[in-house]
C-alpha cells in the first residue's frame, strides 16, 4: 500500500463530525487489539478552544531543546495529513506512516470480522491510533497530544498524562459540546486526571469555575498561567518578548504574531515548568517555535497573512491584531467558511475592519458558497470568487495588505498555492 492509498482510505471513512462516536469503547478496543501502543509513553495532554496548536508547538520545541525525543499529535492539517503526526519536529516519513496505517487497519479488520466493533473506527480514531503506533515504534520519550474535539470523549483521552493543559475555552462546535460555556468547559475538563498536574490558561470566570471544580474533585494540583507575571514586554507586528516570572524568571521571545500568543507562551512556560524542563530550554524552545497558518506572513509585496480564525474567539484575536498593528492602513479580507460555523459573529467582527472583502470557498464539500456568505454582510465593497486560486490571483494583481482567513481548509489551500 502506498501513502496515497492510505490517505484515500482515511478520507473515505467520511467527515469526522458525521462519523464521530461519543464514547471511548471503540477506541479502547482498537488499542487493546494493537497491544496498547499508547502505554508506557510520557504525555502532556492539551485541550481548549483556541491556542491549542500554538501551545503544543511551543511545548514540543522546548522539549526537543531539552534533549527529549518527542512526538507531536495535532489537528487539523493544512496541506499534508502527515503534519498531524511529527517525531522530533518532522512530519512522519511516508514509510513510517504506511507501516502505522497497515497495523491499525489490520487490527480494525480483525475487530470487524469477529463482531467486536459494529463499524470501522472513524477517521480521527484511526489517525490517533496510528500516532500511538508511530510514537511507540520511534521510541519517543514524551508526546505532546492535542485533543481533536472536546476532551472527555475525545479519542486522545485514553492516556495517563503527566501534565494536562487547558487553553482558553470559548464557543465552538456547540452542536457536539453543548450550547453554554459551562457545558463546553465540562467536556474540556474531561482530560484532567488525578495523578497529572494541571495548567489552566486565562479563562472566563464561568469557565474557570467549572475547571476548578473538576480539579478539586480529582485532587489535582493546578497552576494558572497568571501565576507567571509578565514584565519588560516589547512587541512588534511579528514577534514579542517579555520576562515571565514565577518560581524563576525566564526571558521569553515569541516568533508567533499577535497579542494572544503572549498568553499562549505563558501557558507553555507553566506547563513546561510543571513537567520539569529547565528554564534555558524553555526560553530556547519557545523562541524557535513555529506554527503555520496562524497570523503567518507568506508574502510581502503585497503583504499576505494567513490566519485560521474559524470561530468567534479566533476572529476577536485577529481583529485585535489588525486594530493594533494595522490601524489607519487599508486592508483586504479574503474569507471562506464551513457551513457548520458561527458565521454571523465572525463576519460581524472582521468585515468592518476591511476596505475590501473577497468571499470564496475552499474545495471542500462542507464549504459555504461565497454567494451565501455575501448575504450575511452589508459591507459596501464585497467581491465573490468561485475558487481560492481565483481569489489569490485577484489579490496579487491588486496590491493591498490582505488577510486570508476563516476556515483552516481555506488557509491550507491558500498556503499550498503561496508557499513553495
10-to-7, 82, 83, 132 alpha-carbon distances in Å: 5, 12, 15, 16
Tell me what pLDDT residue 14 has: 76
Q: Are 47 and 188 in contact (CB under 8 A)?
A: yes
Nearest-angstrom CA–CA distance, 207 and 191: 15
Show the cell assigned to 217: 474533585
Is the whole model's pTM more than 0.85, yes or no? Answer: yes
CA angle 65, 67, 68 (to 5 degrees): 105
pLDDT of residue 234: 97
pLDDT of residue 171: 82
CB 267 within 8 A of CB 167: yes
**Residue corresponding to grid cell 507553566:** 270
Nearest to 1 by CA among 137, 130, 132: 130
- CATH code for the part of the protein at 3-288: 3.40.1190.10
Residue 144: predicted pLDDT: 99
The structural domains of the chain, with segments of one domain joined by +, span 3-288, 296-418
DSSP lists the bridge partners of residue 244 as: 230, 250
pLDDT at 420: 72
C-alpha cell at 396: 496579487
Q: Per-residue confidence of the chain (420 residues) as pLDDT tens digits?
A: 999 999 999 999 976 555 566 789 999 999 999 999 999 999 999 999 999 999 999 999 999 999 999 999 999 999 999 999 999 999 999 999 999 999 999 999 999 999 999 889 999 999 999 999 999 999 999 999 999 989 999 999 999 999 999 999 988 765 667 769 999 999 999 999 999 999 999 999 999 999 999 999 999 999 999 999 999 999 999 999 999 999 999 999 999 999 999 999 999 999 999 999 999 999 999 999 999 999 999 999 889 999 998 888 899 999 999 999 999 999 999 999 988 767 888 999 999 999 999 999 999 988 999 999 999 999 999 999 999 999 999 999 999 999 999 999 999 999 999 997
The pLDDT of residue 313? 87
- Determine contact, residues 65/284, Cβ cutoff 8 Å: yes
Which runs of E-coded beta strand occur in 177-322?
197-200, 222-224, 229-235, 240-245, 249-254, 296-300, 303-307
Write down the pLDDT at residue 110: 98
User: What's the pLDDT score for residue 179?
Assistant: 64
pLDDT at site 365? 86
C-alpha cell at position 168 = 482558553
pLDDT of residue 99: 98
State residue 311's pLDDT score: 87
- Dump the DSSP string for 44-102: EEEE-SSSHHHHHHHHHHHHHHTT--EEEE-S--SS-GGGGEEETTEEPPHHHHHHHHH
Angle at 194 between CA 46 and CA 178, to 5 degrees: 55
Right CATH for 296-418 from 1.20.1270.10, 3.90.190.20, 3.40.190.10, 3.30.465.10: 3.90.190.20
- Give the CA distances from residue 185 to residues 209, 214, 261, 341, in Å, rounded to whole numbers and listed in that order: 9, 10, 21, 19
Phi, psi (deg, nearest 5) at residue 282: -60, -50
Name the residue among 329, 331, 359 with its Cα closest to residue 346: 359
Amino acid at each position: 500500500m502506498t501513502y496515497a492509498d492510505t490517505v484515500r482510505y482515511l478520507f473515505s471513512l467520511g467527515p469526522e463530525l458525521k462519523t464521530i462516536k461519543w464514547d471511548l469503547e471503540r477506541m479502547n478496543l482498537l488499542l487493546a487489539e494493537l497491544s496498547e501502543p499508547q502505554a508506557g509513553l510520557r504525555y502532556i495532554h492539551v485541550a481548549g478552544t483556541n491556542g491549542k496548536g500554538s501551545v503544543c508547538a511551543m511545548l514540543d520545541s522546548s522539549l526537543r531543546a531539552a534533549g527529549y525525543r518527542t512526538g507531536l499529535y495535532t489537528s487539523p492539517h493544512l496541506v499534508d495529513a502527515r503534519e498531524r503526526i511529527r517525531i522530533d519536529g518532522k512530519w512522519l516519513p511516508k514509510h513510517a506512516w504506511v507501516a502505522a496505517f497497515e497495523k491499525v487497519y489490520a487490527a480494525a479488520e480483525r475487530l470487524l470480522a469477529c463482531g467486536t466493533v459494529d463499524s470501522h473506527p472513524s477517521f480521527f480514531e484511526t489517525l490517533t491510533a496510528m500516532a500511538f503506533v508511530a510514537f511507540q515504534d520511534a521510541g519517543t520519550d514524551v508526546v505532546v497530544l492535542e485533543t481533536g474535539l472536546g476532551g472527555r470523549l475525545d479519542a486522545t483521552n485514553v492516556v495517563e498524562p503527566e501534565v494536562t493543559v487547558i487553553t482558553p475555552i470559548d464557543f465552538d462546535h456547540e452542536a457536539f459540546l453543548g450550547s453554554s460555556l459551562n457545558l463546553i468547559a465540562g467536556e474540556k475538563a474531561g482530560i484532567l486526571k488525578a495523578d497529572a498536574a494541571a495548567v489552566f490558561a486565562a479563562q472566563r470566570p464561568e469557565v474557570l469555575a467549572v475547571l476548578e471544580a473538576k480539579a478539586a474533585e480529582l485532587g489535582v494540583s493546578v497552576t494558572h498561567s497568571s501565576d507567571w507575571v509578565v514584565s519588560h514586554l516589547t512587541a512588534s507586528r511579528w514577534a514579542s518578548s517579555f520576562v515571565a516570572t514565577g518560581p524563576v524568571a525566564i526571558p521569553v521571545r515569541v516568533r508567533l504574531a499577535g497579542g494572544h500568543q503572549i498568553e499562549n507562551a505563558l501557558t507553555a512556560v507553566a506547563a513546561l515548568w510543571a513537567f520539569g524542563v529547565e528554564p534555558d530550554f524553555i526560553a530556547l524552545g519557545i523562541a524557535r517555535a513555529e506554527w503555520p497558518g496562524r497570523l503567518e506572513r507568506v508574502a510581502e509585496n503585497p503583504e499576505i497573512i494567513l490566519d485560521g480564525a474559524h470561530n468567534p474567539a479566533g476572529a476577536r484575536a485577529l481583529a485585535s491584531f489588525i486594530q493594533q498593528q494595522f490601524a489607519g492602513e487599508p486592508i483586504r479580507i479574503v474569507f471562506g467558511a464551513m457551513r457548520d460555523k458561527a458565521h454571523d459573529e465572525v463576519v460581524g467582527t472582521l468585515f468592518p475592519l476591511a476596505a475590501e472583502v473577497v468571499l470564496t470557498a475552499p474545495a471542500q464539500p462542507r464549504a459555504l458558497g461565497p454567494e451565501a456568505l455575501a448575504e450575511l454582510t452589508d459591507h459596501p465593497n464585497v467581491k465573490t470568487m468561485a475558487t481560492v486560486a481565483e481569489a489569490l490571483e485577484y489579490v496579487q494583481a491588486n496590491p493591498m495588505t490582505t488577510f486570508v482567513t476563516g476556515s483552516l481548509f481555506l488557509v491550507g489551500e491558500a498556503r499550498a498555492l503561496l508557499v513553495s
